Each structure stands twice: as structure tokens, then as C-alpha cells.
Amino acid sequence: TASPALQSLMGLELKTGHRQNPQNEHMAQLALYTLMLRMRRGSAVVGGTSNGHQHGAGVGAGVEADSDKRHKSLQNGAASGGMLLYLNHEAVLALHVSPVSSELKSLIGQRNVLAIDSRKAMQARGVVVSRDGDRQNNGDGSGGRPSSSRGKSTNIEILPAPPTQLPEMVPLSNCTRCYSNRECMMYAASDAANAPAFQQSHGSLMNHYTAHLMPEDMQYFLDWDRMIDLESRAGRHDIAKAWLKLSQERERGTGKTFSDLVFAASYQLGQDPQQTQMQSQVCPSDTNDDKLILQFDRAPGSTLSSTFLNSLKIEDRSHVVLSTDGTSILPLEVSQGGGSTKSFRHQMNVFRGIVQKVTEQSVTILASKNDLRQVQDLRTLWQECNGDALPLRFRLDKDDVATGTGTLRQNLIKLFTADIPTFKLQRKQHNGNGHATTTGNGNSDMDSRLQIRMPWLRRAIIKMEKPQFDPSRTRSMFD
């Protein structure tokens, strides 16, 4: 007999504006999405179990409830492949991509190379941290690492900011069309040791964006770029440490965590909860608006129920991260009839949102319909393992650096290059009279006010030139 149909999650990648021929980059992109989905949801197995969930139904089974149908694909896990869909004015082309073992190994290898480079870039540049009593490496392979650092003072030495380690430069023909060539040339020019080599291969592009800058400008750029790196590193370290501590312990210690929360309700943005019959099982498809308000209440019987949420350090408009309230990464497995098992694994960073209102015993968060689906899916899996007696509890951690450092870094780049127009290749055009005219890097697309203001700002901020005031008296509105 034919095996029953298996419902599973499958990645779908839409490509518009491309020719109707598959590209290796697109298939690799979809393969990575498939790996991420399988890591998050587990792998679907035909005729068996996945993540401890058994597939199939007995003879004469009744019609499943709508909520069960909605979560069946989640329970069965993710498929081994995905769908690549090309859409343009010519036709529609659908391809099923299922990566083989050798392709997965190659993709994971490239991912590891990128992860190593990213980790190197995250390390503090020009900062030496040492502790009193640390032993030097004695060459015996032990590294001289002390057994404990308790009671030792930490010494931090700040050295001149070194340049950022850059990957190998791609050919100039690719750089001229890159949307990040402005930022890349700034970093390349700040590397004094390798700048001559960059000049030989990318001189025209580098000179276009950085020829007007002086050595003190480059040093100012390096110093502030390092400070942005340190701030970003500290923010990532704090939010990662938050998940490794018990929520109740962190709530008492820092006040930047709400512990023992249960999902209470969801309603549309702008809807008055006092005038609406709120339901904790609202379906996300009930509204066309992607934005929703999710309400979480302090769990009944919580040991911290006497601590009011609005007395802690998560206020309205705070950026927060919602996670399930558990620090163990081991799955909770429950035996079911027929030899099958069901499991639940605590999840960090279910979604990120913005706090709308905090009261004594509840908090509301601005989220999306997809965020609500994730919360409902987790609650359903939890109930299948634990029943309805013990509700799933969540925790809310304040994200002090939710906006990231991208805006800070972009503003730093603009300080040095905002008055420089976008690089354009020099091209010769014939005007029809036998004469050739050259079109290239002009200033027609650049605001003339920036070309006057930005050099003045650099002199005032970096060289600390004193402002010059107009001695002439202007007409006052009170005259």
C-alpha cells in the first residue's frame, strides 16, 4: 500500500526579474534555508516519527480539529528540499532543490569560513586585557592558564587602533558596480600597511573616495570604528549572557527581565482591549493587518507575583526579546502510546518586539502575525507534552542595543565621504560630429550644500578648529 501523504515545512525562494535559467547561487541560497529550517524544526520522516511526533492516523479516526491541522506540518518537521520559483514577464519556472551530502558539506565549509572571519572581526582591536598573576606561556603546551582568576585585578591597555582585517580584494570591475564600494574603500585606505597594494589594483576607486582625507582623518576613523566595534561586542555579550541565567535570578538582580509570563491574549493594533472580547487562541488570519498586540501576564502562583512589572527597568517603548522560560537545551521527552515519544525544546529568541504598555501584572508587545504563530506553535507542542495543567511560561529580556551599530557606522562613513559623488566609470561618447566627449565623475548629482558643509564639519570635529562668527549684526525680531 502507498504510504500516506506527509505534511512538512518547505522553504520557498521567489526570484523575480531573473532569466528562466537556474543559477548555482540561487540553489545554494535555498539549500542554506533548508538547513536552517531543518535545524529549527527537525527533519520530516515518511511513515515514522520526527522530533518525537508520529505520523499517520488509525482507521476510523475522526476529523482533526483546525488547530491540529495548523500544527501538523510543524510536528512533522521540515522537508529535505525546497522550491525555487522564477517569476518574470516570460513565464513561471518551478524547480525542486534537494541538496545532496557533498553539497551540504561544501556549504557548511563556506559557512565556517565566514563564521571564523566574522569572529575575528568581532574581537577587540588594539585592546590588551591581562590579570595580575597570570602566568606566561612556558612552551609546554599548557599555555600557562591559571586555574582561577578570583581576587585578581584586571588591567586593560588601550593601544592605537589598528586597521580592520579585510578579506582579499575582488577585481576592480566588480568593485565599481558594488553598492558598498564607498565603505570598502574607506576601510582599505585606513590600512596604511596595505594601502600601496590597494592603490595598484584599485587606485582610481580609492582616490575618488579618499584622496581628500588627511592622516589625522584616517586615525579619527580608526579610533571611532573601534569604539563602535567595542559597543557592538558588549551588547551581544550582554544579551547572550542573559539567556544563560535563570529568569527569576536576573529579574531580582538587574530588573531587565520579566520572568514567569504566560500568553494571555492577542488583538489588533489600535483596538481597545477593555471593549473587546479577547481570546487567547486568536488565529493570525483573522486580520489583514500584519501588526498585532500580544499580551503576557504574570503566571498564577509565581514566586515573584508580589513584584510589580512596572517597577522594573523595562518600560514602554523598550526593545525586548521573548524566549521560553528555561535555560536547558536538552529536550523534554514524554512517552506516548504505541512506542512513540513527543518532545519539547526550550527556545531562545522566539521573536523581538517593542513594549507598548507595562502594568503591575501584564505587559503588551507590538509584534507580527508570524510572531503570534510561533507563540501558538510552541504552546501547542508544550501542551502535547505536559497537558493543560501547566501552561508554557515565557521570559522577556530587555535589548539595550536592539537598534544595532549599523547606523553609527554609516554616519561615520558619511562624515568622510558624504560630499563625494557616487563613482562612475569614465566613458567616451561620440556626439555625432566626430568629436569624443568624456562622461565620468561629476558633481551634478551632489548637493552643493554638502560640498561646503562636510569639509567644515571635518575641520571642526577632527581638527577642532574654532568656529568663526559673522561680526555683522543681524536684524532681531524684537527690533
pLDDT tens, residue by residue, 278-316? 444 445 444 555 789 999 999 988 888 889 999 999 999
Q: How far is CA 91 from CA 23, 86, 275, in A?
A: 17, 8, 50
Question: Please, which pLDDT band fits residue 159 given cuts at 50, 70 and 90?
Answer: confident
Highest-confidence segment of 57-66, 361-370, 425-434: 361-370
| pLDDT score of 166 | 75
Helix axes 406-417, 181-190, angle to 10 degrees: 80
Contact between residue 111 and residue 126 where contact means Cβ atoms under 8 Å apart: no
Lowest-pLDDT range, 22-31, 89-98, 161-170? Answer: 161-170
Judge whether residue 241 has pLDDT over 90.
Answer: no
What span, in angstroms and rounded, lies between the C-alpha atoms of 125 and 119?
12
Q: Looking at the predicted structure, is the pLDDT value of residue 142 above 60?
A: no
Predicted structure pTM score? 0.56
How high is the pLDDT of residue 309? Answer: 93
Lowest-pLDDT range of 26-30, 138-142, 189-193, 228-232:
138-142
> What pairs with residue 343 in β-bridges?
333
> What pLDDT digit, counting tens, does each position of 27-49 carry?
888 998 888 888 777 777 654 44
Distance in angstroms (rounded) separating the CA atoms of residues 62 and 57: 9
Which pLDDT tens digit goes with each residue over 449-465?
888 889 999 999 999 98
Grade residue 434 by pLDDT with cuts at 50, 70 and 90: very low
